Structure 1
Amino acid sequence: MIKISPSILASDFANLERESKTMVAAGADMLHVDVMDGHFVPNISLGAPVVAALRPKLPITFDVHLMITNPLQYLPDFVKAGSDIITFHYESDDDPREVIRAIRAAGKRVGVSVKPKTPAQEIFPLLEEVDMVLVMTVEPGFGGQKFMDDMLPKIRQIREKANALGKTDLDIQVDGGIADATAPLVAAAGANVLVAGSSLFRQDDYAAGILKLRRAAEEAYAK
Structure 2
Amino acid sequence: MIKIAPSILSANFANLVSDVRIIEEAGADMIHIDVMDGHFVPNITIGAPVVKSLRKVTDLTFDVHLMIENSEQYVKDFVKAGANIITVHAEASKHIHRLLQMIRNEGVKAGLALNPATPINVIEHVLDDLDMILIMSVNPGFGGQKFIPSIYNKISSLKEYLQSMDITIPIQVDGGIGLDNIKQVCECGAEIIVSGSAIFNSDNVKDTIRLMKKADED
Q: What is the CA distance between 1:117 and its match in structure 2?
A: 0.7
Q: Say if 2:43 is the partner of 1:43.
A: yes
Q: Say if 2:143 is the partner of 1:140.
A: no
Please tell me whether the aligned partners of residues 93 and 99 of structure 2 are also in contact (alpha carbons under 8 angstroms): no
% identical aligned pairs: 47
1:214 maps to: 213
Over 3 Å counting, the alpha-carbon distance change for 1:74 and 1:94 in structure 2 is farther
Please tell me whether the aligned partners of residues 90 and 112 of structure 1 are also in contact (alpha carbons under 8 angstroms): yes
2:112 maps to: 112
Q: What is the CA distance between 1:93 and its match in structure 2?
A: 2.7
Please tell me whether the aligned partners of residues 39 and 68 of structure 1 are also in contact (alpha carbons under 8 angstroms): yes
Gaps of 5+ in 1: none
For residues 2-44 of structure 1, the C-alpha deviation after alignment (integer angstroms, 9 at most, x for no partner) is 0000000100111100110111111000000000010000110
Matched to 1:205, the amino acid is N
How many Å separate the matches in 2 of 1:119 and 1:93? 16
Please tell me whether the aligned partners of residues 66 and 88 of structure 2 are also in contact (alpha carbons under 8 angstroms): yes
Please tell me whether the aligned partners of residues 33 and 65 of structure 1 are also in contact (alpha carbons under 8 angstroms): yes
Matched to 2:145, the amino acid is Q
How many Å separate the matches in 2 of 1:91 and 1:82? 25
Matched to 1:26, the amino acid is A
Matched to 1:219, the amino acid is E
1:190 maps to: 189
For residues 20-69 of structure 1, the C-alpha deviation after alignment (integer angstroms, 9 at most, x for no partner) is 01111110000000000100001101111110000011010000000011
Q: Say if 2:72 is the partner of 1:72.
A: yes
Q: Say if 2:82 is the partner of 1:82.
A: yes
TM-score, length of structure 2 as denominator length: 0.97
User: What CA RMSD, in Å, does the superposition of the two structures yield over aligned residues?
Assistant: 1.1
Q: Say if 2:165 is the partner of 1:165.
A: yes
Structure 1 runs, 4 residues or longer, greater than 6 Å off: none
Q: What is the CA distance between 1:128 and its match in structure 2?
A: 2.9
TM-score, length of structure 1 as denominator length: 0.95
Gaps of 5+ in 2: none
1:95 maps to: 95
Please tell me whether the aligned partners of residues 64 and 87 of structure 1 are also in contact (alpha carbons under 8 angstroms): yes
Q: What is the CA distance between 1:124 and its match in structure 2?
A: 2.5
1:179 maps to: 178
Structure 1 SS opposite 2:184: helix
Please tell me whether the aligned partners of residues 128 and 167 of structure 1 are also in contact (alpha carbons under 8 angstroms): no
How many Å separate the matches in 2 of 1:129 and 1:165? 15
How many Å separate the matches in 1 of 2:93 and 2:59? 33
How many Å separate the matches in 1 of 2:121 and 2:153? 12
Instruction: Count residues with an aligned counterpart.
Output: 218
Matched to 2:190, the amino acid is A
After TM superposition, the structure 1 stretch with the greater mean CA deviation from structure 2, 52-61 or 121-130, is 121-130
Q: What is the CA distance between 1:191 and its match in structure 2?
A: 0.5
